Amino acid sequence: MAHQLLKGKKGIIFGALDERSIAWKTALAAVAEGAEIVLTNAPIALRMGKINELAKQCNAQLIPADATSTADLDGLMQKSMEIFGGKMDFILHSIGMSPNVRKNIPYTDTNYENFLKTLDISALSLHRVLQAAMKADAINEWGSVLGLSYIAAQRTFPGYNDMGDAKALLESIARSFGYQYGFAKKVRVNTVSQSPTVTTAGSGVAGFDVFFHYAEKMSPLGNASAEDCANYCVMLFSDYTRMVTMQNLFHDGGFSNTGVSAGIVNPNP
């Protein structure tokens, strides 16, 4: 049930591809809570995905932008402010892609050109988004920027490959830029470390099914769904979390603090 937590607020959602994606669920949840949004993704993703359907559902305008292009992001901020008639209040960064993962290149045999693309797309893009927003003074005071992360930033999941390094960098950027943006404009920057989630991107990771079920057995509350993550993001966009910044917030049913579970020790009681 919606409570209008974001009534009157405006924001940009990056990365919605199809109805399985967390960004898609977050867009729907934000609009249900009273927000007005702009949707954006890379031009190639717009052609591959179903984001036009989401734009209709959310009564949102869709602006193509490559998150690795400073010029595209500068244009996105300006166009969004024109649509909103002023500044915005939140941004969701739900962007990640690894050519090495897609091509099944092992971490120890990494292609470094691919590795740099992974870091640029999956982590440095957050810095670019924040820089573009700050330069344009696009976010209201007490606004909220979120990046989606995963516990592979702290722990080793071999199939996650160089995306683990990218997520570690993403979280570091959130802390470093969060410090600067907080002092300058009272804008908060956080990352949400979500459970393994059945999305188009997540399902492409080698061994995904195994560690999805492992996390389900390890987590006292089970894996958090994409819908649950969307609701958590809405709360972090709202005024109820105005003093939360520079944090990596685990949204994983307790997985991150569980050493071992009875279901793992004795799977067939």
- Specify the residue for token string 């603090």: 257
Using the 8-state DSSP alphabet, how is residue 152 labeled?
G
Q: Catalytic: 240?
A: no
Angle at the Cα of 228 from the Cα atoms of 120 and 52, rounded to 5 degrees? 60
Written as one letter, the residue type at 28 is L
Q: Which residues contact 247 (CB under 8 A, 6 or more apart)?
A: 190, 191
d(CA 124, CA 57): 30
Are the CB atoms for 167 and 153 separated by under 8 Å? Answer: yes
| CA proximity to 154, closest of 23, 11, 252 | 252
- Which listed residue (160, 181, 232, 240) is catalytic? 160
Q: Catalytic: 150?
A: yes
- Which listed residue (107, 112, 150, 181) is catalytic? 150
> Active-site positions?
150, 160
